[in-house]
């Protein structure tokens, strides 16, 4: 047909333009991920994720977790601030994830949980978990009380892995009383630090709508969590335990709590960022 060459040229040009536009879109999408600020600070949205692992399976779960996931999250712009095992509960595992913004939580969780890393390992991980519903969505009480993102464990300098003891004291605060309770608790927190414990964040409930419903979190707050890092068991069992027992009585007597404080003693996994550093 006489018009075929011209038509063919036009179609090829259209295809080329479409391909170019698609390529530009792909480049823009990739660039937005590459340019995502990789700062290891200013994480304003915190998930305090407290899991129950099936009996006898916690060591395997921790090894899988440490092996597959910290860098996968970090590459996206979120962070695993700490991964820890509960001493009082042989099935308890806690990990703390940070996002820069609440919008990041939706976007980055979507990328991860519909991506190839989780797709490959999700059956293995889910088969080891008994319960993963105990999750708190939190924010720093003040910008200066955010969780410090410590350097990744150096396998050469730290051949024995992460060291130290981490403690998390959870306060179930009465509604509309977080600020008043935080002020009253400052004396107690100062006494914790006086024992040599390093404060690693003061976090309070972030009361926002869940923008990634596939990962529910608790709505029975508000809560305040004090995080600390101790050098060893000697520091824990001497001054620190004595001070927290005394403060528990005082803070409970404030009338601002719905239940007595819960102190969780945690051991870092070998690759946990949250740990004691000299």
How far apart CA 223 and CA 248 sit, in angstroms, is 15
Return the CATH number of the domain spanning residue range 45-268: 3.30.70.100
| Closest alpha carbon to 251 in 180, 200, 195 | 180
Return the pLDDT at 278: 87
pLDDT digits (tens, 9 = 90+) for 56-102: 999 999 999 999 999 999 999 999 999 999 999 999 999 999 999 99
Return the pLDDT at 42: 94
pLDDT grade for 39, boundaries at 50, 70 and 90: confident
Return the pLDDT at 182: 98
Phi/psi-derived region of residue 176, left when phi > 0, alpha when psi is between -120 and 50, beta in every other case: left
Return the pLDDT at 138: 98
CA-to-CA dists, residue 7 to 12, 143, 269, angstroms = 9, 62, 65
pTM: 0.85
Segment 246-257 shows an average pLDDT of: 96
Residue 12 has pLDDT above 60, yes or no: no
The residue with greater pLDDT, 15 or 247, is 247
């Amino acid at each position: 047909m006489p018009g075929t060459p011209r038509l063919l040229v036009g179609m090829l040009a259209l295809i080329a333009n479409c391909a170019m536009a698609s390529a530009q879109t792909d480049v823009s999408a990739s660039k937005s991920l590459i340019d995502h600020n990789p700062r290891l600070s200013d994480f304003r949205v915190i998930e305090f994720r407290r899991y129950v692992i099936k009996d006898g399976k916690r060591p395997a779960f921790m090894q899988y977790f440490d092996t597959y996931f910290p860098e996968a999250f970090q590459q996206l712009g979120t962070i695993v601030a700490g991964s820890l095992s509960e001493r009082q509960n042989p099935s308890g595992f806690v990990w703390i994830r940070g996002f820069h913004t609440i919008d990041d939580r939706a976007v980055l969780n979507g990328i991860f949980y519909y991506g190839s890393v989780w797709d490959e390992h999700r059956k293995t991980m889910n088969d080891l978990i008994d319960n993963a519903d105990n999750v708190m969505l939190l924010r720093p009480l003040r910008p200066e009380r955010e969780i410090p993102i410590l350097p990744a464990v150096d396998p050469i300098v730290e051949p024995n892995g992460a060291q130290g003891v981490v403690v998390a004291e959870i306060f179930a605060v009465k509604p509309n009383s977080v600020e008043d309770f935080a002020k009253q608790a400052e004396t107690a927190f100062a006494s914790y630090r006086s024992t040599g414990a390093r404060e690693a964040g003061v976090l309070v409930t972030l009361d926002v709508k869940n923008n990634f419903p596939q990962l529910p979190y608790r709505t029975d707050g508000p809560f305040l969590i004090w995080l600390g890092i101790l050098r060893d068991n000697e520091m824990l069992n001497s001054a620190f335990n004595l001070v927290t027992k005394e403060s528990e009585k005082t803070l409970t007597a404030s009338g601002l709590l719905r239940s007595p404080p819960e102190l969780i003693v945690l051991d870092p996994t070998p690759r946990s960022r949250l740990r004691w550093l000299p």
